[in-house]
Amino acid sequence: MNDPQPTSDLQVTPLEGEALERDCAALMAASDPWLTLGYGFDDLLRTVRLPGRERYAAHVDGEFAGFLLLNLHGTFAGYIQTIGLAPQFRGSGHGAELLAFAEQRILREHQNVFLCVSSFNHAARRFYERLGYSQVGELVDFLVQGHSELLLRKTIGPLRQRKP
Ligand SMILES: CC(C)(COP(=O)(O)OP(=O)(O)OC[C@H]1O[C@@H](n2cnc3c(N)ncnc32)[C@H](O)[C@@H]1OP(=O)(O)O)[C@@H](O)C(=O)NCCC(=O)NCCS
């Protein structure tokens, strides 16, 4: 079966301003996996404001639809720290579009895209596997006791193969 195609355009722009930061934190605070992981709004607002991240907001027809937080530095450079869509925009292909945007951005500079997915987040795991991600590690009891964070990777080749 084909992946669902979005019915309207997803606009991705740099995430700026307190109102959008609060929209992102509110989206997460009302949704799994963050509910099960026990994060509250204030924790999540701090996450959205972490320094050194590249941040993007997604809108559909002018409505806030979701966001991306990327970490382009360090050992796992090319790490998608967070991807989230508001519930009314899930299940219709916008997630794949937003992920494709993240991949294009990361693979301009890096050979790998990394992300973690919670072991109980079965729908998201299927989503990533469909889009070419493989599990390369398991961080047992990493955020909370009893659940793992699964490290996933999509690669375009070894680091040393990259042309300068
Ligand atoms: C994960 C996410 C970005 C995927 O984007 P998407 O546009 O929903 O992707 P898809 O349309 O391909 O659907 C992916 C899965 O979401 C589930 N889904 C479908 N419609 C849904 C809806 N209305 N609400 C919630 N989940 C839905 C489905 O189970 C689907 O998996 P399946 O087709 O294998 O059953 C998005 O669903 C999301 O933001 N989820 C909540 C936050 C989250 O889990 N983020 C990832 C953290 S690692």
Decide: 100 in ligand 1 pocket, CB within 6 A.
no
Decide: 35 in ligand 1 pocket, CB within 6 A.
no
CA 162 / ligand 1 centre spacing (Å) = 33
164 vs 49: CA distance, rounded Å: 32
* Residue 49 structure tokens: 């404001």
What is the DSSP pairing of strand 112-118 with strand 79-85? parallel
33, 44 Cβ separation under 8 angstroms: no
In order of 18, 43, 71, 105, 155, the CA distances from 121 in angstroms are 29, 20, 22, 25, 22
96 vs 149: CA distance, rounded Å: 21
Question: pTM of the prediction?
Answer: 0.92
Sheet with 134-139, side-by-side order of all strands = 10-14, 54-60, 63-71, 79-85, 112-118, 149-155, 134-139
13, 59 Cβ separation under 8 angstroms: yes
Decide: 132 in ligand 1 pocket, CB within 6 A.
no
35 vs 41: CA distance, rounded Å: 10
One pLDDT digit (tens) per residue for the chain, 164 residues: 455 555 568 999 999 999 999 999 999 999 999 999 999 999 999 999 999 999 999 999 999 999 999 999 998 999 999 999 999 999 999 999 999 999 999 999 999 999 999 999 999 999 999 999 999 999 999 999 999 999 999 999 999 998 87
136 vs 102: CA distance, rounded Å: 19
CA 119 / ligand 1 centre spacing (Å) = 15
Using the structure block, give the residue that is written with the tokens 């990777």: 153
pLDDT at 23: 98
93, 101 Cβ separation under 8 angstroms: no
Which domains occur in the chain, in start order? 10-161 (3.40.630.30)
pLDDT at 8: 62
68 vs 94: CA distance, rounded Å: 12
pLDDT at 5: 55
CA 147 / ligand 1 centre spacing (Å) = 19
Q: Which of 127, 143, 148 to mutate to test the pocket of ligand 1 (most atoms within 8 A of CB)?
A: 127
* Residue 20 structure tokens: 């959008």
Decide: 78 in ligand 1 pocket, CB within 6 A.
no
